Amino acid sequence: MWTCGPSIYLLPHIGNYRTFLYEDILNRYLEYLGYDVERALNVTDVEDKAIAEAEKENITLKELTERNTKVFLDELQKLGAKPPTHFPKSSTSVEQAESIISTLLKKGYAYWYRGNVYFDPLKFKAFGKLYGLDMKRWPKEKRRFHKDTYPGNRWNFGDFILWHGYREGDKVYWITSLGKGRPAWNIQDPAMVSQSLGYKVDVYCGGVDNLFRHHDYVKAIMESLTGEQFAHYWLHGEHLFVDGKKMSKSRGNIIYPKDLVERGCQWQHIRFFLVNGYYRKRLNYTHKKFKIACDRLHEFKDMVNKLQSFKTTGKSSRKTKNLIARLKRDFEEHMNNDLHVKDAFDTLFLNVFKLVKQAEKGRVSVEDSNEAIASLKEIDQVLRVMF
């Protein structure tokens, strides 16, 4: 399982963490079902924006990215995310990128132009399939796009860069068989994937913005290399908006986890708000909605604590036994439906509410209570918000 990590030139905001947490939920739920999950989560620490930011702060690229990576890993842990099996970085996969580019050059998918190496998407027959790109719009004249990333959700109809050849004054470069230079962004993921997981994966995840000018590029590179299907499943999480608007520096509405913590929020609250939805549907943050989510989690945890505290001898009932059986069954039904976490949690909330009512009527035995809590603890290995 490959999960696209952050470009670490800036600290991740809560919108980024929404993506990383739906991926964490998927990882945990697959393990809950009994699968063995080998997962890679990467950081992009060599690209145009990071180099520019380091120059702006008058520090080295390594100082910038190591500082931000440390914060990222610390916040992931506080948000209850499971550590990945592999944690590759762009800077440690340069040799693999060099090898892949060399192979693509030999196969004719890539070519040199003015010191750079570009990939020609027209050489790959299935290009644009993930996004559903209309290839009839492709221009007749040759176009090349030499930046790592471009702003906005639009397509660059042309060849994309794989290798930035050295230019006079460049501070970040490697000496390789390709000459001096550095790997471009869209070759870095194939390099890190193949280095950590191999040339095929079961699941490939990221944010919905990766459908533009990224995942189709990765797919084209990997399948051009092997001639075989690269990934069986591609998952893309939708954006998180703030008060109905995209987060941006110009709007001044970017929210970082530490901003919420400084207001007195708990890390578990932030996790719950970000995962309690449907990952393919846009999530809108407002202070009111966040408070409602926090209050709902508190109410749920209070019910779980109440259920856990029932130690008086009660008499079990068929309804109680059925409710306990439904805890995991209903949870799994909604999670199996493409990770509908909100539906799964809402059903869980209702079943626990009914169990507490049964307990208050003396219809829950100590054995019942222990069985229910055991089921909830299993479920919480996925959600990580109850205990």
pLDDT of residue 387: 95
Reported as a single tens digit per residue, the pLDDT across 188-220 is 999 999 999 999 999 999 999 999 999 999 999
Reported as a single tens digit per residue, the pLDDT across 130-184 is 999 999 999 999 999 999 999 888 899 999 999 999 999 999 999 999 999 999 9
> What's the Cα-to-Cα distance from 41 to each of 25, 85, 148, 358, rounded to whole Å?
14, 8, 20, 44
Reported as a single tens digit per residue, the pLDDT across 243-289 is 999 998 789 999 999 999 999 999 999 999 999 999 999 999 999 99
Evaluate if residue 313 carries a pLDDT over 90: no
pLDDT of residue 312: 67
The CA angle 13-15-16, to the nearest 5 degrees, is: 70
Reported as a single tens digit per residue, the pLDDT across 7-58 is 999 999 999 999 999 999 999 999 999 999 999 999 999 999 999 999 999 9
Please count the residues of the chain: 387
Owner of token pair 């966040």:
290
pTM score: 0.95
Contacts of 118 (CB under 8 A, 6+ apart): 110, 111, 144, 159, 160, 161, 162
Residue ranges and CATH numbers for the domains of the chain are 2-258 (3.40.50.620), 287-383 (no CATH)
In the chain, the amino acid numbered 53 is E
pLDDT of residue 217: 98
What does pLDDT average to over the chain?
96
Task: Tally the C-alpha atoms within 13 A of residue 338's C-alpha that lie toward its C-beta.
Answer: 10
Evaluate if residue 360 carries a pLDDT over 70: yes
User: What is the C-alpha to C-alpha distance for residues 65 and 78, in angstroms, rounded to an integer?
Assistant: 20
Reported as a single tens digit per residue, the pLDDT across 218-243 is 999 999 999 999 999 999 999 999 99
The 3-class SS string of the chain reads: CEECCCECCCCCCHHHHHHHHHHHHHHHHHHHCCCCCCCEECEECCCHHHHHHHHHHCCCHHHHHHHHHHHHHHHHHHCCCCCCCECCEHHHCHHHHHHHHHHHHHHCCEEEECCEEEECHHHCCCCCCCCCCCHHHCCCCCCEECCCCCCCCCCCCCEEEEEEECCCCCCCCEEECCEEEEECHHHHHHHHHHHHCCCCEEEEEEEHHHHCCCHHHHHHHHHHHHCCCCEEEEEEECCEEECCEECCCCCCCCCCHHHHHHCCCCHHHHHHHHHCCECCCCEEECHHHHHHHHHHHHHHHHHHHHHHHCCCCCCCCHHHHHHHHHHHHHHHHHHCCCCEHHHHHHHHHHHHHHHHHHHHCCCCCHHHHHHHHHHHHHHHHHHCCCC
Contacts of 59 (CB under 8 A, 6+ apart): none
